[in-house]
Chain A
Amino acid sequence: MSPNPVLLQVRDLVVGFGKTEVVHGIGFDVAAGETMALVGESGCGKSLTAFALMRLLPHGARIFGGQVLFQGRDLVAAREKILRDIRGNEISLILQEPMTSLNPVLPIGLQIAEVLLRHKSMSRRQADRRVLELLSLVGIPEPQRRAREFPHNFSGGMRQRVMIAMAVACGPRLVIADEPTTALDVTIQAQVLDLLDRLRKDLSMAVLLITHDLGVVAQWADRVTVMYAGRVAEEGPVGPFFRQPRHPYARGLLGASVGDSGSAHYTTQRLVEIPGSVASAAAERGCPFAPRCPETIAACRVQPPRLEPVGEMHRVACPVEVAK
C-alpha cells in the first residue's frame, strides 16, 4: 500500500469489555519507517486498539476477533511467551501519563536497563553504559547522575523522555505512542514530539501515534487513520487528507478547528460544530455517524459502510463520498 514494506496489518479487529464491543472490526496498515496517526475523540476506542495490538488490555477487556499481523505473525493468536519476546523488543509502547507510568521506587536507570537485560544478552555493566547513551540520546543532561535518580526527581517532559529512552532501547521496528504529549505543557509537547520524530528517522522505526490533536497529526504524521465510535472512517496520506477530507466526520473535525482557511481567526469566523453527540452511534445499525451526518442516504442506515479507495492509498467508509 505504500512504497515501504508493510510492518503491521490490522484486520477486522474487534475489542470490547465483557459482552460489549467497543472497537467494531477496524483495519489499517503501518508501513516501516512511517508515522501513522490514529485519530479520534475520547471514547472512540483508539487507546483500546493500541493496547490490543500488544495484548496489554486492561482488566475485563478482551479481543473478540480479528488479526494483528506483525511481520507476518498474528499477534492475536500468538502464545503469550512469543508476545513477551516481542514487547519492548520489536514493538514498544509509550504511555500517556508520565507521572504514573514509571515505577516510583526504582531508579530510572534501572528501569531502562531492565528492558535491555531482558531482550539483549549483555552484562549489567554493558547495559548501564547503554543506558547512559540512551539518556544522552533523548536529551537528558548529566546522565551519570540522573540515571540513579527516581521519577519524582524529574519533570513531566523529562519523564516522557525517559519513557522514550525505554521504548527505543532495543531498537524496535514499531513504537506505539498513546497520546504521548497530552499530559505535558504545550511548550514541552513540541520538544518531545520532535525528539520522537528524529529518533524515528535515525533508528528507522515506524511510529503509531495515537492522538486527538489534529495539529499534531498535521505536523508529525505521514498517514492518518480517523476513528469514529469504534470504526475507521477514513484512512490516507496526511497531505491529501488535510487538503480535502473525504469523510463527513473528518470534514466536521477539520471545520471545527481554527485555521481551516488561511485567514481564519476566532473573532472573524465561527467554529463549525458537528451537531449531536457520539452517544447517538450506540443505537445505530448502519453507519455510526449517520445520526449526525448532513449527507446521509438510505443505504447509510442499513449497515456500516466498508472502507473503499477514493484516491492514492486513500480510503473512506462512506458510500456517498465513494460515489462522487
Chain B
Amino acid sequence: MSLSRSAVALRRTAVHAVPTMLGIVVLCFLLLQLVPGDAVDVLAGQSGSATAETMSALREQYGLNQGLGSQLWSYLAHLAHFDLGRSVRFGTPVTQLVLDRLPATLLLMLSALGFALVLGIVAGWVMAAFANRWPDRILQVVVLLFYSTPGFWVGLMAIVLFSVKLGWLPSSGNATIGSALTGFDYLLDRARYLVLPSIALSTFFIAIYARLTRASMLEVTSQDFIRTAAAKGLHPFYIQLRHALRNALIPVTTMAGLHLGNLLGGAVVVETIFGWPGMGRLALDAVVGRDFNVLLGVLLLSSLVVIVSNAIVDQLHAWLDPRIEGH
C-alpha cells in the first residue's frame, strides 16, 4: 500500500485519537474526585495512625489542598511526563506498575484474538459453504452457545476438564516458577500456560467472527465477479480463497477492531481465574486495596491500548481494501 494512503489514514486517526484521549483523561480526573475521602485518608488508614499534621503534610505533597482547576492542571502536567502518581499501597509509581503488567495482558489478548480469528473465520467459512444444510445448522447452534456462555465460566469448566480431570494443562500462572528452561522448552512451557486462558477469553469472539464471516461470505459469493472467476475455469477452492475470502474478510477486520475493548474487559476476569499476572489482576487488587491511582492508571492505559489498536485496524482495513482512498 502506498505510503501516502498510510499517512493519510494515520493522520485521520491522530485527529480523532488525541481529543478522545484527552477526554478520557479528564474523565479519570473527575472519577478521582468522586472517590470517597481522598488518597490521604486511605494512606493514613493503611499506615495505622496519622496525626493532623502528617495528614496535611501528605495533602501538601499530593497537591490535594489546592482548587479543582489547578489540580486538574497538575494532573495533566504529571501525565505529560507519564507520571500517573503513586500506588498508595506500594508507593511505587503507577506507571511502572502498570507497564510491568502490560506485556502479560497483551500476550493473552493477542493469543485469544488470534485463536478467535482463525477458528471463527474457518467456522464462518464452513457455515457459508454449507448454508442452510445440516453442517451450517449445527455450527450455528454451537456458535450461538459460544456467544451466550460467559467466558469465565468456560475457563472454569476448562480447568475442571483439562487440569483437574485430565491433568494436561496448568490452571494457574503464566510460567513454571523456578525452572531454568531455555529456548524451545521455555516457549513450550509458556505456551502450555497460555492455552486455557486464551480459550476462555476467545469463545465469545469466535462466535462473533464466525457469524460475521458467514454473513460476509454469503454476500460475497452471490456477487458477479465470482461468476467471472468461475467462467475463467478456476478451481472452486481457489475461487473461495483468492476471490471470496479476500473480499469477505474486509468487514470482518473492521469489526474485529470494535471488540478490542471487550477483549480487555474479558481479560480482567480471565486473569483472575487463571492467576495470570496481567493488568486485569492488578486492577482487581487495586479495587480491593482501594488503590485508586492504580485503578485509574489501568483505565487510562487500557483506553490507550484500544485507541492504538483501532489505529492499527484502520491501517489494516485501508491495506486490504484498495477502494478506500485517503482524502
Binding site for B on A (CB under 8 A): 51, 54, 56, 59, 84-89, 92-93, 95, 97, 100-106, 114-115, 118-119, 150, 152, 163, 166
Contacts and interface: CB of A to CB of B under 8 A. Distances in A.
A147 to B, nearest CB: 14
B231 A103 contact: no
B229 A103 contact: yes
A87 B231 contact: yes
B160 to A, nearest CB: 45
Interface stretch (B9-17, B92-100, B186-194, B317-325): B317-325
Contacts of B323: 104-105, 150, 152
B233 A119 contact: yes
Nearest to A169: B232
Please report whether the interface of chain B is mostly helix, strand, loop or mixed according to DSSP.
helix
Contacts of B224: 95, 97, 100-101
Contacts of A85: 233
6 contacts: A97-B224, A103-B225, A103-B228, A105-B323, A114-B229, A118-B234
Interface stretch (B77-85, B167-175, B242-250, B291-299): B242-250
Contacts of B232: 87-88, 92, 114-115, 118, 166
Contacts of B234: 84, 88, 114-115, 118
A40 B209 CA distance: 45
Contacts of A88: 231-234
A84 B228 contact: no
Contacts of A150: 322-323
Contact of A106 (B230, B235, B246): B246
B320 A92 contact: no
A102 B228 contact: yes
Contact of A101 (B222, B228, B321): B228
B137 interface: no
Contacts of A95: 224, 227-228, 231
Contacts of B235: 84
Given A87-B231, A119-B233, A104 B222 contact: no
A95 B243 CA distance: 17
Contact of B322 (A56, A93, A105, A114): A105
Contact of A59 (B222, B250, B321): B222
A100 B223 CA distance: 7
Given A100-B224, A102-B225, A106-B246, 11 more contacts: A54-B231, A84-B233, A84-B235, A95-B228, A100-B223, A101-B224, A103-B228, A106-B243, A115-B234, A118-B234, A150-B322
Contacts of A86: 233
A95 B225 CA distance: 9
B231 A56 contact: yes
B247 A105 contact: yes
Contacts of B321: 105
B161 to A, nearest CB: 41
B227 A105 contact: no
B5 to A, nearest CB: 12
A45 to B, nearest CB: 17
Contacts of B222: 59
Nearest to B222: A59
